[in-house]
Structure 1
Amino acid sequence: MADEVTDSSNHEQFVICLRWVDSISFAVNKDLVGFYQVDDITASTLFSSLKDVLLRLNINIQNCRAQCFDGASNMIGARSGVATLVQKEEPRAILVHCYGHSLQLAVCDTVKQIRIMSDALDTTNEISKLLKYSPKRDTF
């Protein structure tokens, strides 16, 4: 599982988690591998970073059976997304859209249909922008 995010200092970070099954007890494990600063978030850069992390962990990409990303085009784009690049090297690594992200999108769509919830979220968003971009906050 991987995703890109911009941190508070406006640097691009690539977050990688591994989900694996123990070969003895068949227990499912999920480990945060780390946050990696990347120069840009193009599919080729992210794919290179992912391959580098797997190499450093001594994990062969041919042992990967699934990949999980959000719906961003650089992640699951049909022509040149990270998922497509992974599947070119390992066709058995099926793509699974991130369930957490899918749930978030469904909840957002539902909340937007409820007027009082929509208004509350809009107000919260405006207050957070006011605080985030406050000149006094920038002095710290």
Structure 2
Amino acid sequence: ISERKIYSIICDETRDESGKEQLCFTIRSVDNDFIIYEDVLGIYMIISQSAADITEVILDIICRCNLNIKDCRGQGYDGAPSMAGHISGVAARIQRLCRKAFFVHCNAHSLDLSLQDLTSTSSSISTALNITNDIINFIKDSPKRLNLLDTLTDLNNYTQLKPLCPHRWTVRASSINSLLINYSLVKTALTEIGEEGGHPAPKANALTEQMDKFSTYFGLKLGE
């Protein structure tokens, strides 16, 4: 990276399973033959999601890698105010140190936002997404219910249910597909849970009723 000198930075913050905030830091650069390189330098713990703290972490990483902030020519983040804010966001803070470090809203994030806006206009898809989230959370929140799925089918034919990600559409599609593949299996499991009675029964019966509707399956196929 130091040999190529000019670079851009790509960052995204996320929360791990333990609830700790982390920052994924990537350097994008190009050599004299116009070959593009993207090097993920690591995932770093951040104490908060404030612009000041994230900027401090970014500058520390750049310093440790013996890079000069003045050689930065681009910044790629999501559209969160702490990152993209034009006054006190990370992008603005970095650009005050290097005027040529222009900010570009992450294309993948922009696409996700566009798809979310698009699907919000379709009641069929919106309803299907909500039902998908309810069903998968209901199943995965209980080891007993997960074990029930295992006992109802050969494990080789069972595709694990994937949680519905609220931000990334590609992950949402995987979640929808996992439910569609296991549609009959999940419906059978919910029916058995409802027949057993007890506290989960009303919820299971309500979800089974939703899965019986054509509009639910149709919405899932639209969002697939």
Report the TM-score when normalising by structure 2.
Answer: 0.57
Hey, which of these two has a bigger chunk of helix by percent?
2
Partner of residue 68, structure 1: 76
Of residues 76, 96, 106, the one that matches 2:114 is: 106
Query: 3-state DSSP class of the match of 2:93?
Result: helix
User: Aligned-pair distance for 1:72?
Assistant: 0.6
Partner of residue 26, structure 1: 34
User: Aligned-pair distance for 1:116?
Assistant: 2.1
Query: 3-state DSSP class of the match of 1:47?
Result: helix
Partner of residue 8, structure 1: 17
The whole-number CA distance in structure 2 between the counterparts of 1:45 and 1:21 is 29
The whole-number CA distance in structure 2 between the counterparts of 1:52 and 1:101 is 25
User: Aligned-pair distance for 1:135?
Assistant: 5.7
Aligned residue-pair number: 135
* Closer/same/farther in 2, CA of residues 20 and 131 from structure 1, 3 Å limit: farther
User: Aligned-pair distance for 1:39?
Assistant: 1.0
Matched, 1:50 2:58: yes
Listed one character per residue, the Cα deviations across residues 59-82 of structure 1 (whole Å, up to 9, x for unaligned) are: 111111010111111101122110
Question: Which one has the largest radius of gyration?
Answer: 2
Query: 3-state DSSP class of the match of 1:41?
Result: coil
Query: 3-state DSSP class of the match of 1:65?
Result: strand
Listed one character per residue, the Cα deviations across residues 31-77 of structure 1 (whole Å, up to 9, x for unaligned) are: 21111011111111100100111111111111110101111111011
Partner of residue 123, structure 2: 115
User: Aligned-pair distance for 1:94?
Assistant: 0.5
Please list every run of 5 or more consecutive structure 2 residues that lacks an aligned counterpart in the other structure: 1-9, 145-224
Higher relative contact order (CA 8 A, sep 6+): 1
Identity of aligned residues (%): 36
Matched, 1:87 2:95: yes
The whole-number CA distance in structure 1 between the counterparts of 2:17 and 2:40 is 20
Query: 3-state DSSP class of the match of 1:34?
Result: strand
Please list every run of 5 or more consecutive structure 1 residues that lacks an aligned counterpart in the other structure: none
User: Aligned-pair distance for 1:18?
Assistant: 1.2
Partner of residue 175, structure 2: none
Two-structure CA RMSD over aligned residues (Å): 1.6
- Which letter does structure 2 place at the counterpart of 1:9? S
